[in-house]
Amino acid sequence: MTTTDFSPDTLNTIGVLGAGTMGHGIAQVFAQSGLTVHLVDNQPAQLDTALKAVDRSLGKFVEKGKLTSEQHSDTLSRLHIHTDIDVLAGCDLVVEAITENEAVKIDLFRKLDALCPAKTLFASNTSAISLTRMAAATSRPDRFMGMHFMNPVPLMQLVELIRALQTSDATFNAIKSLSERLGKTPIEVRDAPGFVSNRILMPMINEAIFTLYEGVAEAEAIDSVMTLGMNHPMGPLKLADLIGLDTCLFIMKVLYDGFKDPKYRPCPLLTQMVDAGYTGRKSGRGFYQYD
């Protein structure tokens, strides 16, 4: 295969693996851009929830006059759900968005590597795990990179594009063009713990949790200081609930293990909340209560 085979025009059928908080949003933006999408999750209930969430999100765009009803239904018709990963063998690009756990992701990429033809590009939406290590677990490390979407995916402009050490220029350029086709703004970064986004964001969230843990202020007060005083659109504790406290804890552990610096130690309250199953919005309880 030559580098010209990586033209973004050849990336027409997209697999999205994992239909949780991020996966359904990623599937939506690809389908909205006219691409055929196969969304795969091993939990059927997650797929049902994902389809409803996409339908709701598209409906809001229609209400705001940003999409027509026809575009709404066309987008849904391009989005297919599956519990079996075999369908991904026919995809030009697979974007992985499963739970933030390195061993589980690597295991899945090995399976995908055996399943997909050599031309298929792989991307991971990981928040912090080394792309270089994940790429090395496949037989196509040059065709592997990070495609880090932000939450909520249909609304957020940024896609942080992370080059593994092995990522080829052809792969990078194809994914960059594809990101632009989605209407996103791709920003190039290199592989390092937490990349740029979470190396800066997560220690701030962790510090907000320490502030709550030490009784300096209540959750609402901490968030209000950051929204009213720093013009952040959302306070750090509310944002942690949106991201998922399990994901936040995992990212702090990646930073701590990666840099061996105590400034990245996760707050004990964060660990306890995750141990209790209070993972934020997705579980109905985090620093706030949700319906």
Contacting positions for ligand NAD (CB under 6 A): 17-23, 41-43, 46, 97-100, 104, 108, 125-127, 148, 151, 243-244, 247, 282
The DSSP line for 207-257 is: HHHHHHHTTSS-HHHHHHIIIIIH--SS-HHHHHHHH-HHHHHHHHHHHHH
Question: Whose Cβ is closer to ligand NAD: residue 67's or residue 98's?
Answer: 98
Closest CA to 111 of 142, 78, 139: 139
Question: Whose Cβ is closer to ligand NAD: residue 92's or residue 160's?
Answer: 160
Beta carbon of residue 4, minimum distance to ligand NAD (angstroms, whole number): 31
β 158-163/185-190 pair status: parallel
Beta carbon of residue 119, minimum distance to ligand NAD (angstroms, whole number): 23
Beta carbon of residue 259, minimum distance to ligand NAD (angstroms, whole number): 18
Whole-angstrom Cα distance, residue 126 to residue 147? Answer: 8
Ranked by CB distance to ligand NAD, the top (closest) residue is: 20
Question: Whose Cβ is closer to ligand NAD: residue 136's or residue 217's?
Answer: 136
Catalytic residue list: 127, 148, 160, 198
Beta carbon of residue 170, minimum distance to ligand NAD (angstroms, whole number): 25
Beta carbon of residue 28, minimum distance to ligand NAD (angstroms, whole number): 13
Beta carbon of residue 161, minimum distance to ligand NAD (angstroms, whole number): 13
Question: Whose Cβ is closer to ligand NAD: residue 123's or residue 226's?
Answer: 123
Distance of CA 89 to the CA centre of its chain: 22
Question: Whose Cβ is closer to ligand NAD: residue 97's or residue 252's?
Answer: 97
Any bridge partners for residue 289, and if so which? 285
Question: Whose Cβ is closer to ligand NAD: residue 74's or residue 278's?
Answer: 278
